[in-house]
Amino acid sequence: MFVTILFFAYSAVLVAAALGVILARNPVHSALLLVLCFFTSAVIWLLLNAEFLGIVLVLVYVGAVMVLFLFVVMMLDVNIEELRRGIAGYWPFAVAVAGFVVFAIINVIVVQHLGGVTLKVAAPLPAHYSNTRELGIALFTRYAYPSQIAAVILLVASVAAIILTMRRRPGLKSQNVSEQVRVRAKDRLRMVKMTSGKRP
């Protein structure tokens, strides 16, 4: 009962925030509402006993991806009004995409469970069920190779992105930090022995 109330409350927030992401005029507000979306979906996952997925969603998307996203959005000077001009012209395309998504969802829910009422309810979880442990076992035994390959692909992608954006402009005055770090006191400082004067 309590869990059901929580589910509907968070789902309502999720839908409202998702609408806010596309309707907000300020791009920073959009990004923040997207953060709220991630949070609420993490909570819904927690309600479904998927604590590992929920926490990792917050860790990866909210803690890292959206921070960098916000970083970029704040730095860019986006004129949202200019972008919005002519957006109404895209409505046939938008309707087509939305229609396809709705059709796919209905297909999954209704057509595959004829009559639309035989939605399967998941079997009750055992008493000491640990989502973290189960996922760990699955990832490191049954899906060891797929997860390794996915990790390598991600690594390649990030290295490629770095290579693509890294360029050295000529004539740039930058410090050579390793040279600065390697400096020792005797390179910069000369100790001179002097006879001290008389104390006044």
Partner 1 sequence: MWEWGPIRSWVDGLITPYWAAPLLTAVQILMVMIGVILVMAFYTLAERKIIGWMQLRRGPNRVNMFWVPGLAQPFADVVKLLFKEILIPAEANKVLFGVAPFLTLIPALAIWAVIPFAPERTFANIDAGLLFILSMTSIGVYGVILAGWAANSKYAFLGAMRSAAQIVAYEIAMGFAMVGVLMAAGSLNIGAIIEAQHGGAFSWNWFWLLPMLGVYFIAGVAETNRAPFDVAEGESEIVAGFHVDYSGMAFALFFIAEYVNMILISALTVIFFFGGLLSPFDGYLPASSWLAAPGFFWFGLKTLVPMFGFLWLRATFPRYRYDQIMRLGWKALIPVTLVWLAVEGLMVYWHVGPWKGRI
Q: Which region, judged by CB under 8 A, interacts with partner 1, from 61-69, 77-85, 91-99, 144-152?
A: 61-69
Helix spans in the chain (H): 2-23, 27-47, 51-57, 66-75, 80-84, 91-106, 131-137, 144-165, 177-182, 185-188
Tokens 């390697």 locate to 182
Q: Directed axis angle between helix 66-75 and helix 27-47, to 10°? A: 170
Token code pair at residue 180: 């600065």
Query: Counting contacts by CB under 8 A, is residue 63 touching partner 1?
Result: yes
Total number of residues that touch partner 1 (CB under 8 A): 25
For position 191 contacting partner 1 by CB under 8 A, the verdict is no
Residues 155 and 163: their CA atoms lie apart, in Å, by: 12
Pick out residues in 100-159 that bind partner 1 (CB under 8 A).
130-133
Q: How far is the CB of 178 from partner 1 (least distance, A)?
A: 8
* Binding test (CB under 8 A) with partner 1, winner from 9, 12, 15, 74: 74
Residues 6+ positions from 32 with CB-CB distance below 8 Å: 70
- Contacts (CB under 8 A) with partner 1, residues 28-47: 28, 32, 35
12 near partner 1, rule: CB under 8 A: no
Q: Which residue has the tokens 């829910």?
A: 109
Residue 35 makes CB contacts below 8 A (sequence gap 6+) with 62, 66
User: Binding to partner 1 by residue 95, rule CB under 8 A?
Assistant: no
Residue 58 in the binding site for partner 1 (CB under 8 A): yes
Strand ranges, E, within the chain = none
Of 56-64, 112-120, 147-155, 161-169, the segment contacting partner 1 by CB under 8 A is: 56-64
Classify burial at 164, counting beta carbons within 10 Å of its beta carbon; exposed 0-12, middle 13-18, buried 19 or more. exposed
Which of 18, 24, 48, 56 contacts partner 1 by CB under 8 A? 56
Using CB under 8 A as the binding rule, whether residue 177 contacts partner 1 is answered as: yes
Say if CB 5 and CB 39 are below 8 A apart. no
Least distance (Å) between residue 130 CB and partner 1: 5
Q: Which two tokens stand for residue 29?
A: 């507000």
Q: Does 62 bind partner 1 (CB under 8 A)?
A: yes
- Where along the sequence are the contacts to partner 1 (CB under 8 A)? 28, 32, 35, 51-52, 55-56, 58-59, 62-64, 67-68, 70-71, 74-75, 130-133, 175, 177, 181
